[in-house]
Amino acid sequence: MAIALTTGILWARNKSRGELCTVVDVEVLNADSTSFVTPQGVLSDLAGQGVKLEGKYMGDIDASDIEEALRQSPYLENADCVKCQDGRILIRVSQLVPVLRVFDGDASYYVNRAGKRMAASSYYHCDVPVVQGHFTRKYPATRLVPLIDYIEGDSMLHSLVTMYQVRDTNNIILVPNFSGHVINIGDVDDFENKFAKLKLFYRDVLPVKGWNTYDTISLKWNHQIVATKRVKAVEQVIESHPEDDEQAPDMQTMALGTAPATGQQDKKKEAQQEESKKESTKEQASSKADKPANKKNN
């Protein structure tokens, strides 16, 4: 039985090597409504790399070479290739799953958990945290993933933080979704303790001091919070609606708007006074000219 089984396996393998590849099936494992990888796109990617499968002898096709070629694609996280006995090749791929989007100057790209980059495109959008900064091999964007995971898992912090700014490795800025101040957490170490201090500051200090009192809240140092007082007032943004007849100005707008109006009123009063003086002069000259005529008439 062992000899027969071995003989059968060798016979099937030799027969398979002599068959031609007639069909290439591609399956996207994590396809959903936001998928940007299609079976046709995978085949086009292989063709672009000079990999031709259909019509080729199965014995001349190396499944590991196909897997390695597909893993080089920026749109795929993983790829597996299986050669079947009926001249069919089955390729299973997983599209890249972004965890954050980086804006680095004019460039923009998505990053997955393994650090693989995919250039951003107008044909695809993924709702992930936005990070602004420059990253290198020594300091990759994946260093922020544990921090982002923690914030996304906390309901309060998730609703608070709208984007991240990485100025350098020791100055990571969190931008809240309201104007007033930014949060400097320093590096990515010990962020659980830093956020615990931030929540105490929001609960006990800002309601008393005012939410627009500080422009930067720094959590970089142990056992303390350093808040920098604001120098300039927070700019008030007024939203207008088409159905509104007139936009209601704030106090600052009113102060700025009334100054020119007052000057114009003063100029208008001066002009009216000058005009009244001219009219008075004309009346006096007219009365003097009429007096001799009246005497002659008399």
Residue 204 confidence (pLDDT): 93
Q: Is pLDDT at 185 greater than 70 in this prediction?
A: yes
User: What pTM did the predictor assign?
Assistant: 0.68
Residue 267 binned pLDDT confidence (cut-offs 50, 70, 90) = low
Structural contact between residues 145 and 113, judged by C-beta atoms closer than 8 angstroms: yes
Residues with Cβ within 8 Å of 198's Cβ and at least 6 positions away in sequence, in order, are: 183, 217, 219, 225
Q: What is the mean pLDDT of residues 119-140?
A: 92
- Average pLDDT for residues 49-59, to the nearest whole number? 89
Q: What is the pLDDT of residue 223?
A: 81
Order of all β-strands in the sheet with 76-83: 23-28, 88-95, 76-83
Average of per-residue pLDDT across 237-263? 42
Residues 81, 79: Cα–Cα separation, whole Å:
7
Domains in the chain (CATH in brackets) are 2-95 (3.10.20.310), 100-229 (3.40.50.11690)
Q: How far apart are CA 118 and CA 101, in angstroms?
A: 9
Q: Is the predicted pLDDT of residue 287 greater than 60, yes or no?
A: no
DSSP β-bridge partners for residue 205: none
**pLDDT, tens digit, for every residue of 192-218?**
999 999 999 999 999 999 888 899 999
113 C-beta neighbours (distance < 10 Å), count: 14
